[in-house]
């Protein structure tokens, strides 16, 4: 394997690792919560109105008091 091929393999591996860390961090921080909410509501309650992302987060934080420290 030549130097260029090794560099390409290393670059691809690095990109994959960055992508996986980004996915993990986003999931950990709740970036997918609203998307999952939309998917669930459309599947389980089609035709009913959906909360805006802002209202979703407001409602989620006002009802989920057990996860906060203060």
The pLDDT tens digits of the residues spanning 8-38 come to 778 889 999 999 999 899 888 888 899 999 9
Q: What is the pLDDT of residue 50?
A: 96
Give the number of C-alpha atoms closer than 13 A to the C-alpha of residue 66, restricted to the C-beta side.
0
Q: What is the pLDDT of residue 69?
A: 60
pTM: 0.56
Q: Is 8:30 a contact under the CB 8 Å cutoff?
A: no
Q: What is the pLDDT of residue 56?
A: 92
Instruction: Report d(CA 66, CA 14) in Å as an integer.
Output: 38
DSSP H/E element including 67: none
DSSP 48: S
Q: What is the pLDDT of residue 5?
A: 72
Q: Is 34:56 a contact under the CB 8 Å cutoff?
A: yes
């Amino acid at each position: 394997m030549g130097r260029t091929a090794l560099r390409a393999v290393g670059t691809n591996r690095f990109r994959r690792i960055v992508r996986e860390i980004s996915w993990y961090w986003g999931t950990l921080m709740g970036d997918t919560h609203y998307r999952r909410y939309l998917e669930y509501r459309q599947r389980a309650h089609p035709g009913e109105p959906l909360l805006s992302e802002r209202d979703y987060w407001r409602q989620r934080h006002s009802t989920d008091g057990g996860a906060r420290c203060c």
